[in-house]
Structure formats: structure tokens, C-alpha cells
């Protein structure tokens, strides 16, 4: 058994007979105050009021002790009283109680023989043999080595016995507290495979087990459902999904199934689910798979009635399975589902495309060639559009925005020709496989190539990426998305009632949410129908707002200064951009997007090189030209340089002088906490320096993701991808050598964001963050958990373990000290090593997410400056500058993602009310629930100090 004091929250026992089962239930309910939580098949679950401890008793006559065997066992143990320590006889579990002395009196009343340590006057622990033959211990301390002072003895009332029982420590629970509903939940993957499906399956299985339910996997999608039987519908254990996070495709298989489209096929599926005892079904697939799932639920009452009438199910089965609860998750690389910003696998496929184009770029530039790259997307151009933005492609062809056969050829040649005339040596054209003309004629890659060759005389090659886009492991974002959605799907299944429509688990900006499945599928299919009807305006209107925004941004950046500016001369501004703090992925994307968008509008973009220190000391200001920044979108680091010094640390007066000299009308700051402080200093200095009376925007960019006012910072996704690759390699090494745990020390300053999400995407056994510190009690619990895990997995593959430690979680317990402590405490049962990724975490090439969001944020920032210039126009040289005017304060803002919204927040408000300056952190930790989920999916008990 695992010590309940510092271990898991569930104890598992086996009863050999009905008689011993009843005796055990009486023992744990009458004496310890637990109550019967639920009964399923051969399992009885007991728990206390807040479900912080659960006792699971299985009735199994083959492995459990009979009444006589329990009696013999008790006599044998009692015979050794005062001879040897009972703890040496067998593995024991230790439970924490509020009043140990009162419990001793109760056990004595029921005539249990007790072994008390160290003595009866100062009891610290007490042990007895329970009705099942197990040695069970009790303590009043979270730490058994602590001696409890003598208490006034008083006989407790049995009706208040429930007050005796509590779980060790104040424990942070994962996912949600246990609820009365118990359902057997199955998960299946259907349709085309996508990266992240395995992560979704793992999350569903473990979240289901964590909630005290049975988990099943349905092999081969709907085909397995129709065929049925234990070969296709399998009860799945916690250990069955080990290693799923880092594997591509779907390990439980997927297949097209024509039989399920027929009612007789769905009738078979209904019967097989009932035979397996399944109440809830979670389907991860595309719109076709989810349509089938919802139809299945809609027909369920008639299907189950037919089975009852035919005598194929019993009346008891009919009553128990009257309702089927279904929940959908979208697994599709096309990202074509309505009402969600992203689908599982979409960003992984995009990463494959961007990486391929990055490689192609080098060859294209070397030979001054043109490349036509064909990507997937039959009815949705999301992949082509996002790849076009992330790689600064010259032209894209997508089904949502077609032109006539003549127009697209003329337009493409005009844009490519102008780019070449400006000095660009390479040409990239991205074609979605579903690209069409306005008369629905398919546009092939060969046709695009012929146009480039015949009209422009370019040496042109074609690259069809094909199923490479589906391959490989999921990127960090898809692992996170699949995991969080899988946990939410289990929660949704348990909360569903027969009258509630089937939900679809979606994500909007940064928030996991539920949407009506039927409505989402209907809108998705309407897009394809609108395209077939040549109603392209309707098709575009049905796409989500972000898709339309990205398309408008691509068109604006792509025109740059080659087309006539869209603003009249009198509305054009001088806008500067500066990078502050450590380099982060996406900084160059933000600079590129800001400059190209400014050019398309008619503004003059300026780059301030090497931060405020560079400006104050060297007047490092330079206007940006299109040729100079070509290709920056896909480059890591900071091409204009960066510096950590704030204006106050350099020379704020000199900075104001140069702002006045260049007559800047707006400023965009890209960076982390130093950038946040810099913006606040400039805003505060407005009353003294008129040149700062301009709109100013901060685009958060830091791997630590610790900027107040946002839940997402540029660079954090690139960092997580780098850490994911690093941890996958380390874990592989640990698995290969068997019995090795690595302590991985990660960056993040005083923010545990990186450590938390690195733990989630790598399946680490534990993570330590500055917000919680490292308590010895927690460390001991985690060491015990490691020992248990290695013991369970001794004969299994993939047995390597990771422990993620944020550098600032403890200055005393360095990764090397932690590794030594773990090694000393593990009794040579496994080895411990240290891994420090260091500046590898800043990443190389920025991820597609950081590129796309960098572009989006920069364009939003320019639009913010355009909108707020008039708010400060008459106050530039006013002697009575209104420092307390809220409207004026709002012109210095942080652009951030908050839950499901992208919003600007006044830096004054954030600095005064939402920031812990001493810790360089926002006051609210937005990712705390993610820590709970990460811990719950590896079975970790987190002990919090109050």
C-alpha cells in the first residue's frame, strides 16, 4: 500500500467474501466516519464528506482472504505484539485523523488489538488489523515523525465519528471534486488521424479513472463500435496510456466505416455499448465523425427500444442505459470546424508546413527560384493562409476567396513581379488542395507553376507536402489543447442530462469552453455548401472572426509599399517599434508585421535598435525598408537588438529628446516585464516630457509569460516547443537506461508558467514552481510516488521519469541537491540525474503560433495608435496636461489575451492594481487550474501550505 499520509487519495482493498466485505464497510463507516459513495459491479467506494479520501473495496474470492484466513492473519499479527514492529510485517497504509486519542478509545471499545508508537502516553501512530486482514495505521500528524502532545481523553460519540477522518495536509485537488455521478466512459478516434489524438485519449482515460469511473477505448473508430467485443471495446487502465503524449497518430486506430452510416450498423453499435456497460462516449474526429455521433445519440431511444423488443438486451440493461451521453472533440489538421479557434492537430500540421517552407526558402534564395507548395485543405484554406502569414509567402490560393481564371493569374504575376523588382530573390506560392476559381474550376499546382514559368520566366519547382503534414508528434500547443479538452470532455459527460444537447469542446482565444455540437457542425458544412453554390461572400462570413482577420492582415502585409497606401497623406503617422528584455520567439514577426502594415497604410515605420540604452547613447533610430526586413517573419531572436534597461535606468530626458527630434506619433514596445515597467515610466513622464504624449502599446513577449494584463506572451509557445523536444529526448534516454529519473531545471523567473506547462506536455511526475516553493513534505511525497511508479513499471518499457523544477522554486534546493536527496531516499531503487536546458529554451526558429500572433498583435497595435492619436492631438504641448484623465491613461496600454478576449488594458490600471512589483509578477495566476490537471493526470498528490 502507498502511505495515505503523503501519497495518493485512494486506497484499494480486496475482500474475499461478502461477509468480510460487510465487516470492512462497517469498520470504515462506523469507526472512521466514511460513507458509501457508490457501488459498481464488484466495487464499493467509500469516501468522507469532501471526498478527499476514497477507499475502494473489490469483492474477489480468488485473491481476497476468507473469514477464517482473516482470523488467522489477525492472530498471527497480534502474537507479535511487543515483539516486533508490525510495520515490518507487511506494506501498511497510514491515515490521518483529527483526534488520535479519541480514535484509540473507539478502537479499544470495539476490542481491536492495537500497536501504539512510541508509547500510550505520547501516541504518534497506532496500528491495527482491519476486517480484510490489512495492517492499517493512523496518525494525527501530516509528518509521522512528529510527536503528538498528550491530549485530554474523551470518548467520542459514534454519530460524530465522521469528524475523526481527514486527509493528510490541505490538498489541492485536480480537475474538480468527485461528484455522485458515475458513468462508464469510452473514447474513440475517427476520420483522418491528427497529431494530438493520443494526448486526447490519454487525458480522457486518466481523467475518467481519476473521477472514479471506468474508462474504455474503442479501437478502429466506428468500425470497432460496429464489430464490438473485447477485441474492439476494451476497458483501459491508467498504465495503458503511458507514453501516449509523445506519439503521433492515434494508437487506438481510426477507420472509415460505411456500416455505421446505416441504421443497422448503429443498432449493432448500440448493442455493443450496452454489453460493455458504457454510458458516455467521447468522439475525437472531424465534422463527419461528430455528425455521426450526434445522430447516434438522437436515435438512441429508438435503438435501445428495438433491442429490448427483440430480446437482445435485458430489461435491467434497458433501464440502466436509457440514455447515451456524447461529447465531441475536433481532431482535424484542416482546422475547419466552426465555433472554435483551433482543432487538435491543426497547429502541428502548420508547424510541418512552416518547417518545410523554411527549408525550401534557403534553396529558393540560393538559386533565385520560385516554389509552388501544395498543402492540405479541401474546403478550408486555414493551413495555406496561416502558412502564408508565418513564412511571408508571396501569394496564396484558398477556396474561400477565389477569383476568375484570368484574375488570379494576373494578380499573382503582378505581386510576384513587383516583389522581384524590389530585389527579392525567391518566390513562394502556397496552394490549398481545394483551391478553386470563381467558377469552381480546380487550380492545380502544375497550373500555378506553368503561369510563373510562362509569364515571368521563373525557374519554378513544385513541392507537394501530402501526408507529411499529418506525421510526427504533436507540438506543445496541440498536446496542451488535447489534454485540457480531454479533461473538459469527461467533465461534460458527467454533467450531461438527457435534455441537454451534445456539447463540442472548443477553444476561444485562450479559454476552453463548450459549444453546441449540432450547431458547430451545421455551420461547418454550410461553408462547403456556400462554396459549391458560388456564394463566396457567405462562405467567408461563416468563417470565424480570426480567420477573416488573418486574411485581411495577410493581404495588407503582402501589398506593403508596392501598392498605393490606403490612408490619405494627412492621416499618415511616424510610428516607432522597440524591443525590450530578453529575446523571445515572435519578436521579429511583430517588427515585420508592424513595418509592412505601416507601409500598406502609408505610415513611416521606425526601428529603435538595442532598446532604450541604444537610443539614449547612440541615437539608434532607423526607418525600415521592405527589402531590409524581407524574411524576418521566420527568423528567431531580435534583428533590431534588445536591451533590459528601462528609460529610468538610462536617460529618460535623452530618450524624450530623440522622440521629439523624430516626431514620433506612436510607439510599440515588444518585450517582457522590463518592457511593462518601461511603458509605465513613459506614461508617468508624460506630464514632464511632451514627446511622450503619444499612443503607446506593449506587445508582451517573454518566455516567462509573466506580463500583467495577458495570459499569453510571444515566445512562450516557442519556448514550450523547445522544452518539449528536450524533455522527449531526456525521457527517451531515461527509459532506455531503465529506472532513471531526470530533474530538469527550467527558466521562468518568479513565474511557474513554463514549469507547469512543460510538466503537462511531457507527462512529468512532478513540477515545482516559485508560487508554491518546495516543501520537504511535498518532496517526500513525490519521492514515495516515484518509488511506487518505478515499482509498478519495473517490467514495462518507457519507464523514464521527469521532475520539472523552475529555477526560482528554491534557491537552496538546486537541481543537483534535489537529485542527491532523491537518490539518497530512494534506497537505490532508481537512479537520479540532472538536465539543464539553459538558453535552449529561448528557441531557434519561432513557432507558427508565435509568428502568427506576433503579426496579429503588431497590426492590432498599429490600429490602436491610429484610433487614439486624436485623443492626444490637442495636448501635445499643453502646460496643464491632465494626468488623472482615464481616457488619456487608456492611450498607454498592454495588448493581451484574457480568457476568450483579445483586449487593451491601461498600463496605469495594471501597474497600480494587478501587479506584484517585488516579484515581477501579475497578482492573479491564470494557469493554476492547469497545475491541478497536470498533477491529476500523473496521479500526484499536491500538498499546499496554508
Q: Could you give the residue numbers annotated as active site?
A: 334
Instruction: Kindly report the backbone phi and psi dihedral angles of residue 5, in degrees, each rounded to the nearest multiple of 5, phi listed first.
Output: -65, -50
Would the annotation count 166 as a binding residue? no
**Omega cis (within 30) before 118:** yes
Would the annotation count 461 as a binding residue? yes
- Please check whether residue 277 is in contact with residue 235, taking contact to mean a CB–CB distance below 8 angstroms: no
* Residue 484, CB-side half-sphere exposure with 13 Å CA sphere: 24
Would the annotation count 188 as a binding residue? no
- Please check whether residue 830 is in contact with residue 739, taking contact to mean a CB–CB distance below 8 angstroms: yes
What beta strand segments (E) does 855-900 contain?
A: 892-898
Cα gap 477→852, rounded to integer Å: 14
Would the annotation count 839 as a binding residue? yes
Cell of 917: 512589483
Q: How many CB atoms lie within 10 A of CB 415?
A: 18
Would the annotation count 602 as a binding residue? no
Contacts of 248 (CB under 8 A, 6+ apart): 195, 198, 471, 472, 473, 474
Would the annotation count 485 as a binding residue? no
Would the annotation count 398 as a binding residue? no
Cα gap 177→154, rounded to integer Å: 33
Kindly calculate the radius of gyration of the chain based on its CA atoms and give it in whole angstroms. Answer: 31
Would the annotation count 644 as a binding residue? yes
Chain centre to alpha carbon of residue 702: 18
58 membership: H or E segment, kind and range? strand 54-59
Cα gap 673→655, rounded to integer Å: 19
Strand partners, 462: 372
Cα gap 37→19, rounded to integer Å: 19
Would the annotation count 508 as a binding residue? no
Would the annotation count 468 as a binding residue? yes
95 membership: H or E segment, kind and range? strand 93-96
Q: What is the dihedral of CA 625, 626, 627, 629, to 10 degrees?
A: 90
Cell of 522: 451545421
* Residue 304, CB-side half-sphere exposure with 13 Å CA sphere: 21
Would the annotation count 691 as a binding residue? no
Cα gap 722→717, rounded to integer Å: 9
Cα gap 917→31, rounded to integer Å: 51
Would the annotation count 840 as a binding residue? yes
Would the annotation count 36 as a binding residue? no
- Please check whether residue 536 is in contact with residue 404, taking contact to mean a CB–CB distance below 8 angstroms: no
Contacts of 215 (CB under 8 A, 6+ apart): 184, 185, 186, 187, 204, 205, 206, 208, 209, 235, 236, 237
Would the annotation count 702 as a binding residue? yes
Name the residue among 589, 561, 583 with its Cα closest to residue 389.
589
Cell of 353: 508546413
Cα gap 37→45, rounded to integer Å: 5
Contacts of 147 (CB under 8 A, 6+ apart): 118, 122, 124
Cell of 652: 529618460
Would the annotation count 470 as a binding residue? yes
Longest CA–CA separation in the chain, Å? 99
| Residue found by looking up cell 527517451 in the block | 732
Would the annotation count 704 as a binding residue? yes
Would the annotation count 333 as a binding residue? yes
Would the annotation count 228 as a binding residue? no
Would the annotation count 433 as a binding residue? yes
Handedness of CA 887, 891, 894, 897 (dihedral sign): positive
Would the annotation count 404 as a binding residue? no
Would the annotation count 257 as a binding residue? yes
Cα gap 456→701, rounded to integer Å: 40
Cα gap 486→282, rounded to integer Å: 9
Would the annotation count 287 as a binding residue? yes
Name the residue among 712, 578, 695 with its Cα closest to residue 645.
578
- Please check whether residue 422 is in contact with residue 666, taking contact to mean a CB–CB distance below 8 angstroms: no
Cα gap 356→466, rounded to integer Å: 12
Beta-sheet pairing, 185-189 with 215-218: parallel
Would the annotation count 706 as a binding residue? yes
Name the residue among 206, 196, 188 with its Cα closest to residue 284.
188
Going by the annotation, the residues of the binding site for substrate are 332-334, 369, 376-378, 433, 461, 467-470
Going by the annotation, the residues of the binding site for Mg(2+) are 287
Going by the annotation, the residues of the binding site are 192, 256-257, 286-289, 332-334, 369, 376-378, 433, 461, 467-470, 644, 702-706, 747-749, 833, 839-842, 920
Going by the annotation, the residues of the binding site for ATP are 192, 256-257, 286-289
Going by the annotation, the residues of the binding site for beta-D-fructose 2,6-bisphosphate are 644, 702-706, 747-749, 833, 839-842, 920
Amino acid at each position: 500500500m502507498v502511505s495515505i499520509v503523503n501519497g495518493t487519495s485512494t486506497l484499494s482493498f480486496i475482500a474475499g467474501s461478502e461477509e468480510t466485505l460487510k465487516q470492512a464497510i462497517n469498520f470504515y463507516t462506523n469507526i472512521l466516519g466514511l460513507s458509501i459513495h457508490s457501488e459498481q459491479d464488484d466495487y464499493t467506494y467509500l469516501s468522507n464528506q469532501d471526498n478527499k479520501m476514497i477507499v475502494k473495496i473489490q469483492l474477489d474470492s480468488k485473491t481476497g482472504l476468507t473469514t477464517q484466513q482473516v482470523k488467522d492473519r489477525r492472530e498471527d499479527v497480534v502474537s507479535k505484539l511487543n515483539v516486533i514492529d508490525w510495520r515490518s510485517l507487511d506494506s501498511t497504509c497510514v491515515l490521518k485523523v483529527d483526534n488520535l486519542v479519541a480514535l484509540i478509545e473507539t478502537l479499544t471499545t470495539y476490542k481491536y488489538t492495537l500497536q501504539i508508537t512510541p508509547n500510550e502516553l505520547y501516541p504518534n501512530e497506532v496500528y491495527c488489523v482491519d476486517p480484510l486482514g490489512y495492517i492499517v495505521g493512523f496518525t494525527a500528524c501530516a509528518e509521522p515523525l512528529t510527536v503528538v502532545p498528550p491530549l485530554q481523553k474523551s470518548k467520542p460519540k459514534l454519530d460524530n465519528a465522521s469528524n475523526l477522518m481527514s486527509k493528510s495536509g490541505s490538498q489541492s485537488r485536480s480537475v474538480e471534486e468527485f461528484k455522485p455521478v458515475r458513468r462508464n466512459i469510452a473514447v474513440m478516434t475517427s476520420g483522418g488521424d491528427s497529431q494530438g489524438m493520443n494526448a486526447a485519449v490519454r487525458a480522457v482515460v486518466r481523467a475518467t479513472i481519476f473521477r472514479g469511473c471506468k474508462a474504455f477505448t474503442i479501437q478502429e473508430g466506428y468500425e470497432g463500435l460496429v464489430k464490438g467485443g473485447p477485441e474492439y471495446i476494451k476497458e483501459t487502465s491508467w498504465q495503458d496510456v503511458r507514453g501516449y503524449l509523445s506519439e503521433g497518430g492515434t494508437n487506438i486506430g481510426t477507420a472509415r466505416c460505411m456500416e455505421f452510416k446505416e441504421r443497422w450498423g448503429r443498432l449493432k453499435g448500440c448493442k455493443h455499448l450496452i454489453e460493455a456497460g458504457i454510458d458516455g462516449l467521447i468522439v475525437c474526429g472531424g465534422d463527419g465523425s461528430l455528425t455521426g455521433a450526434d445522430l447516434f445519440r438522437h436515435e438512441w431511444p429508438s435503438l435501445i427500444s428495438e433491442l429490448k423488443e427483440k430480446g437482445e438486451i435485458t430489461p435491467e440493461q434497458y433501464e440502466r442505459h436509457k440514455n447515451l451521453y456524447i461529447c465531441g472533440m475536433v481532431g482535424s489538421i484542416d482546422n475547419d470546424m466552426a465555433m472554435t479557434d483551433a482543432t487538435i492537430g491543426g497547429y502541428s500540421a502548420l508547424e510541418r508546413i512552416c518547417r518545410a517552407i523554411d527549408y525550401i526558402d534557403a534553396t529558393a534564395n540560393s538559386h533565385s527560384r520560385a516554389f509552388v507548395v501544395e498543402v492540405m485543405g479541401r474546403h478550408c484554406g486555414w493551413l495555406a493562409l496561416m502558412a502564408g502569414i508565418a513564412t511571408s509567402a508571396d501569394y496564396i490560393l484558398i477556396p474561400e476567396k477565389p477569383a476568375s481564371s484570368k484574375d488570379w493569374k494576373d494578380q499573382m504575376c503582378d505581386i510576384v513581379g513587383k516583389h522581384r523588382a524590389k530585389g527579392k530573390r525567391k518566390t513562394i506560392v502556397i496552394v490549398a488542395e481545394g483551391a478553386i476559381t470563381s467558377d469552381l474550376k480546380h487550380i492545380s499546382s502544375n497550373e500555378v507553376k506553368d503561369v510563373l514559368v510562362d509569364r515571368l520566366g521563373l525557374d519554378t519547382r513544385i513541392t507537394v507536402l501530402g501526408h507529411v503534414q499529418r506525421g510526427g508528434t504533436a507540438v506543445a500547443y496541440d498536446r496542451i489543447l488535447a489534454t485540457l479538452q480531454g479533461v473538459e470532455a469527461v467533465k461534460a459527460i458527467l454533467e450531461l442530462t438527457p435534455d441537454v444537447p451534445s456539447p463540442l469542446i472548443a477553444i476561444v482565444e485562450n479559454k476552453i469552453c463548450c459549444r453546441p455540437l449540432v450547431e458547430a457542425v451545421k455551420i461547418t458544412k454550410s461553408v462547403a455548401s456556400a462554396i459549391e453554390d458560388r456564394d463566396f461572400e457567405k462562405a467567408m462570413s461563416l468563417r470565424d472572426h480570426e480567420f477573416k482577420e488573418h486574411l485581411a492582415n495577410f493581404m495588407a502585409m503582402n501589398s506593403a509599399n508596392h501598392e498605393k497606401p490606403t490612408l490619405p497623406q494627412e492621416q499618415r503617422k511616424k510610428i516607432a517599434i522597440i524591443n525590450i528584455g530578453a529575446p523571445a520567439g515572435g519578436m521579429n514577426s511583430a517588427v515585420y508585421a508592424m513595418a509592412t502594415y505601416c507601409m500598406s497604410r502609408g505610415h513611416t515605420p521606425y526601428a529603435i535598435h538595442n532598446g532604450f540604452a541604444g537610443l539614449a547613447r547612440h541615437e539608434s533610430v532607423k526607418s525600415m525598408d521592405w527589402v531590409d526586413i524581407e524574411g524576418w517573419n521566420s527568423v528567431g531572436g531580435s534583428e533590431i537588438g534588445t536591451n533590459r534597461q528601462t528609460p529610468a535606468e538610462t536617460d529618460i530626458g535623452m530618450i524624450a529628446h530623440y522622440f521629439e527630434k523624430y516626431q514620433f506619433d506612436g510607439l510599440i514596445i515588444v518585450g517582457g516585464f522590463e518592457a511593462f515597467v518601461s511603458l509605465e515610466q513613459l506614461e508617468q513622464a508624460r506630464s514632464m516630457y511632451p514627446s511622450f504624449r503619444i499612443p503607446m502599446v506593449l506587445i508582451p513577449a517573454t518566455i516567462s509569460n509573466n506580463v500583467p494584463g495577458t495570459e499569453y506572451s510571444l515566445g512562450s509557445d516557442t519556448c514550450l516547443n523547445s522544452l518539449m523536444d528536450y524533455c522527449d529526448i531526456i525521457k527517451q534516454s531515461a527509459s532506455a537506461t531503465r529506472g532513471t529519473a531526470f530533474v530538469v531545471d527550467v527558466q521562468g523567473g518568479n513565474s511557474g508558467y513554463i514549469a507547469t506547462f512543460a510538466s503537462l506536455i511531457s507527462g512529468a511526475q512532478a513540477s515545482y514552481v516559485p508560487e508554491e516553493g518546495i516543501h520537504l513534505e511535498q518532496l517526500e511525497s513525490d519521492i514515495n510516488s516515484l518509488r511506487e511508479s518505478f515499482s509498478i513499471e519495473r517490467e514495462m518499457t518507457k519507464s523514464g521519469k521527469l521532475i520539472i523544477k523552475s529555477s526560482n522554486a528554491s534557491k537552496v534546493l538546486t537541481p543537483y541537491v534535489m537529485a542527491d536527496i532523491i537518490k539518497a531516499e530512494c534506497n537505490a531503487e532508481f537512479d537520479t540525474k540532472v538536465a539543464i536546458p539553459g538558453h535552449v529554451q529561448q528557441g531557434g526558429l519561432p513557432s507558427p503560433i508565435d509568428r502568427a500572433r506576433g503579426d496579429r498583435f503588431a497590426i492590432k497595435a498599429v490600429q490602436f495608435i491610429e484610433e487614439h492619436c486624436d485623443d492626444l492631438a490637442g495636448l501635445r504641448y499643453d502646460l496643464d496636461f491632465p494626468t488623472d484623465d482615464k481616457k488619456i491613461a487608456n492611450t498607454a496600454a498592454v495588448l493581451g489575451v484574457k480568457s476568450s478576449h483579445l483586449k487593451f488594458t491601461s498600463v496605469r490600471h495594471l501597474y497600480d492594481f494587478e501587479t506584484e512589483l517585488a516579484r515581477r509578477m501579475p497578482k492573479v495566476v491564470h494557469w493554476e487550474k492547469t497545475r491541478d490537471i497536470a498533477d491529476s493526470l500523473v496521479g500526484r498528490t499536491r500538498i499546499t501550505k496554508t
